[in-house]
Amino acid sequence: MDIAQANGIDICYDTIGDSANPALLLVMGFTAQLTAWEDAFCQMLADGGRYVIRFDNRDSGLSTHFDGVRVDLPAVLAAWENGKAMPPIPYSMSDFANDAFGLLDHLGIERAHIVGASMGGMIVQTMAIEHPERVLTMTSIMSTTGEPEYYKWAPETRAAISTPPPTDRSGFIETSVALGLLLGSPRHFDPSAAATRAGSSYDRMFYPQGAARQTAAIRGSGDRAAGLRALRVPTLVIHGHCDTLVLPLGGHRTAELVAGANLLLFKDMGHDLPKPLWPLITDAILSHTRHAVG
């Protein structure tokens, strides 16, 4: 893995595949590290003729941590839920988007296919809205538009994800598996594999302090409805019927707003990327990125 100086911060990234192939940037979600895009998943995309790039978002993994930067998260959440004036936030979705473009600049890539999961979907939507000339195609996975009425979740899931994780390794793993049972695809969730992933994530970088600032960016950046309505970037939206963190209406709404968007729904997918669905998901992304640009 390498470090790029981009948009004023350090961004940890790696690449898979031939750099002569079209670039495909993978953007992960809330507090997740680049390793949440699993190696074999990335290799399937690379084997399909894509130069795959994955990276840690700011305040995640081995990229820059904004230590000591405080945010009044209760005030941010109250403003978002009640339609009030938003208090200051440390950074926004636009900052996340500019980090990603800065990484592409570092790699000498002018235009790329962009794929985002969950909060990463919000980031790639922002990228496409703000700099469509740099985006070949967009794929938004298990995400939503920033409109409060289209960002709904199951109450038990909200309570679980809002609870700070234990700081010890075994407690973190146990809590991660329990959370995965709530969020994950019911038919495909593998507790043993989830425990292994959680342990690897903890060992690479345990940094729960970034969660409040990333939450503030999600809630405090405004909605993207107008920008998505005007968007003319070829768009694929993927969502799971079993998603309890971002209910499927978030995906429906995203596809509704973007002209010509394709919506792919999996009846047995939750808020995760289950291994049995990788062939279908990667094939959909490869087909979208292949045909959208001719």
- DSSP-based three-state secondary structure for 213: helix
Which residue has tokens 């995640």? 60
pLDDT digits (tens, 9 = 90+) for 181-209: 999 999 999 999 999 999 999 999 999 99
**Mean pLDDT to the nearest integer, 90-117:** 98
| Dihedral angle sign, alpha carbons of residues 182, 184, 190, 194 | negative
Q: Where are the domains of the chain?
A: 2-160+208-291
Element (H, E) at 12: strand 9-16
CA-based angle 78:80:85, to the nearest 5? 85
Q: Is the pLDDT of residue 294 over 50?
A: no
Element (H, E) at 104: helix 93-106
> What are phi and psi for residue 250, nearest 5 degrees?
-65, -40
pLDDT digits (tens, 9 = 90+) for 126-177: 999 999 999 999 999 999 999 999 998 888 888 888 888 999 999 999 999 9
Q: Which CATH fold would you assign to the domain 2-160+208-291?
A: Rossmann fold (3.40.50)
Nearest to 189 by CA among 242, 151, 142: 242
Phi-psi region of 30 (alpha: psi -120 to 50; beta: other; left: phi over 0): beta
pLDDT at 69: 97
